[in-house]
């Protein structure tokens, strides 16, 4: 039974890289009929905030990555962590260390002065035949994990391949602070164990934690999960995505009018591929996804491509749903849709032309109110006898027995022939007068939707 998890730390917003991690963990569980767990890693009490927890839960909801278990909160599991720390102390896999912070700093300074890598000198580590220093009074000890000496930790990373880290590289990790609170790496281990996680899929900024976590799991006699470390997502310049430079929060993308399914589709392609397939549904992705096809090298975020995919998803999306996204955006610009054409019909007509929901809303506006035309358009298309001609055309429209696209279209040819003009000389001034822009879909369909009364009002105003 496959069990994966997404384990964000609630210290900010839901990061785009986090969403990709969540997506791959989710897809792996879904593909194998497994379970996807959400775990909030909130042990860093200073940096974790309730707002951030909310941002993560809202973000997960927005992208539609549903979890089967959780959210579990590490802060609610302290008793369990303490029990496991005691277990490690009892079995000799952990020990109390009374070295004070000052002593540790002094040790580090000495090591650095000698050009050595700073590390704990195992002073308090019990060994057969070794005399430990006398326990100082009034000092609350930390608990350190007794990391194996010699040998190395090896794992077959499902993305990066075989990784081997020498135990010489690994300190005796502090697993409990002087106040008894457990530390980050330790909580992750206990959680992955207790939650029966079979596949730890996470960002490769955690590769350094993995050998420590494996050693602790082994000391606990716990089964080892498969590890899959996903490479980073870089920005278009090949730099680490940063809050300052790049849109990194899912909320930013929602605000940009990106559809969640387009974002997921795009993120799926960042570091994973299925032939040349670019546009696909999440159902399709789940069917195709496997860790074997995840690339080991970092990928670059390409906004153009995201927009292109978003445009494709816009064209495939349910019209009623799009209307619910567009309506509040129109309202923000003071445009009410009641009394006007059905928003779904308007969207169906204009969505070919745009790539995001904000642009979609802008394309819908002139169906509900006349835009103020650019003076250049007015000069170009409404000079000379054009206004008089538009008045004559308005009479034809007024007299039309049926107000529908075909019928309106039927007026064009004869009218142009009579007036001795080309279609553009009718269509363009018509657009400028009715819509306030020359950039519209087929003008007969636009007029049909706007409605006769409103069209005549705009033509004769």
- Report whether 294 contacts 230 (CB < 8 A): yes
Take residue 361 and report the two structure tokens written for it.
């809303």
Nearest to 73 by CA among 35, 45, 97, 92: 45
| Dist CA 33 CA 29 (whole Å) | 6
- Report whether 354 contacts 361 (CB < 8 A): no
Q: Can you state the percent helix, strand and coil of the chain, rounding each to 5?
A: 50, 15, 40
CA distances from 119 to 110, 170, 172, 213 (A): 11, 9, 9, 18
Shortest Cβ distance from residue 287 to ligand GLU (Å)? 25
Q: Which residues are annotated as a binding site?
A: 243
Take residue 167 and report the two structure tokens written for it.
């135990």
Shortest Cβ distance from residue 45 to ligand GLU (Å)? 14
In 231-294, where does DSSP find H-type helix? Answer: 250-255, 260-269, 282-288
Q: What is the DSSP annotation of 283-337?
A: HHHHHH--GGGB-SS-EE--HHHHHHHHHHHHHHS-HHHHHHHHHHHHHHTT---
| Dist CA 16 CA 37 (whole Å) | 19
Shortest Cβ distance from residue 52 to ligand GLU (Å)? 11
Closer of 192 and 454 to ligand GLU (Cβ): 192
Closer of 188 and 430 to ligand GLU (Cβ): 188
Closer of 271 and 340 to ligand GLU (Cβ): 271
Closer of 41 and 246 to ligand GLU (Cβ): 41
Closer of 52 and 438 to ligand GLU (Cβ): 52
- The sheet with strand 94-97 has its strands ordered as 94-97, 142-145, 174-176
At 60, which helix (H) or strand (E)? helix 50-63
Closer of 5 and 146 to ligand GLU (Cβ): 5
Shortest Cβ distance from residue 314 to ligand GLU (Å)? 32
Shortest Cβ distance from residue 5 to ligand GLU (Å)? 7
Closer of 30 and 199 to ligand GLU (Cβ): 199
Binding residues for ligand GLU (CB under 6 A): 7-9, 41, 188, 202, 206
Shortest Cβ distance from residue 136 to ligand GLU (Å)? 34
Residue nearest to ligand GLU (CB): 202
Shortest Cβ distance from residue 53 to ligand GLU (Å)? 12
Q: Which residues are annotated as a binding site for ATP?
A: 243
Take residue 32 and report the two structure tokens written for it.
């194998």
What would you measure as the largest C-alpha separation in the chain, in angstroms? 112
């Amino acid at each position: 039974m496959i069990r994966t998890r997404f384990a964000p730390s609630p210290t900010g917003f839901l990061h785009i890289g986090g969403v990709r991690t969540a997506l791959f963990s989710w897809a792996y569980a879904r593909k194998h009929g497994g379970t996807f767990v959400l775990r909030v890693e909130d042990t860093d009490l200073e940096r974790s905030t309730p707002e951030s927890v909310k941002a993560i839960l809202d973000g997960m909801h927005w992208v539609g990555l549903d979890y089967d278990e959780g959210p579990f909160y590490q802060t609610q599991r302290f008793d369990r962590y303490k029990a496991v720390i005691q277990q490690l102390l009892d079995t000799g896999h952990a020990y109390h260390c009374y070295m004070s912070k000052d002593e540790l700093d002094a040790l580090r300074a000495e090591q650095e002065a000698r050009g050595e890598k700073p590390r704990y000198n195992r002073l308090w580590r019990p060994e057969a035949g070794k005399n430990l220093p006398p326990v100082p009074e009034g000092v609350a000890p930390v608990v350190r994990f007794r990391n194996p000496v010699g040998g190395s930790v090896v794992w077959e990373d499902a993305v990066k391949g075989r990784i081997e880290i020498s135990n010489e590289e690994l300190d005796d990790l502090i697993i409990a602070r002087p106040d008894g609170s457990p530390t980050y790496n330790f909580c992750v281990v206990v959680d992955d164990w207790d939650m029966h996680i079979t596949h730890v899929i996470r960002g490769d900024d955690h590769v350094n934690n993995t050998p420590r976590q494996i050693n602790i799991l082994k000391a606990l006699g716990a089964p080892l999960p498969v590890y899959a470390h996903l490479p980073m997502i870089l920005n278009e310049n090949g730099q680490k995505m940063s809050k300052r430079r790049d849109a990194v929060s899912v909320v930013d993308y929602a605000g940009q009018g990106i559809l969640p399914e387009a974002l997921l589709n795009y993120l799926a392609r960042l570091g994973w591929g299925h032939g040349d397939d670019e546009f696909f549904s999440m159902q399709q992705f789940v069917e195709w996804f496997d860790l074997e096809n995840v690339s080991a090298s970092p990928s670059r975020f390409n906004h153009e491509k995201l927009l292109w995919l978003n445009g494709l998803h816009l064209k495939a999306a349910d019209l009623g749903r799009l209307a619910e996204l567009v309506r509040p955006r129109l309202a923000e610009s003071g445009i009410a849709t009641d009394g006007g054409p059905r928003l779904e019909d308007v969207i169906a007509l204009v969505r070919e032309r745009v790539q995001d929901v904000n642009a979609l809303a802008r394309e819908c506006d002139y169906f509900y109110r006349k835009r103020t035309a650019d003076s250049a358009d007015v000069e170009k298309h409404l000079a000379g006898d054009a206004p008089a001609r538009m008045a004559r055309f308005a009479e034809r429209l007024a007299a039309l027995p049926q107000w529908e696209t075909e019928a309106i279209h039927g007026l064009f040819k004869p009218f142009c022939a009579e007036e001795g003009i080309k279609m553009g000389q009718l269509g363009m001034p018509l657009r400028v007068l009715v819509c306030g822009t020359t950039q519209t879909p087929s003008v007969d369909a636009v007029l049909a939707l706007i409605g006769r009364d409103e069209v005549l009002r705009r033509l004769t105003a």
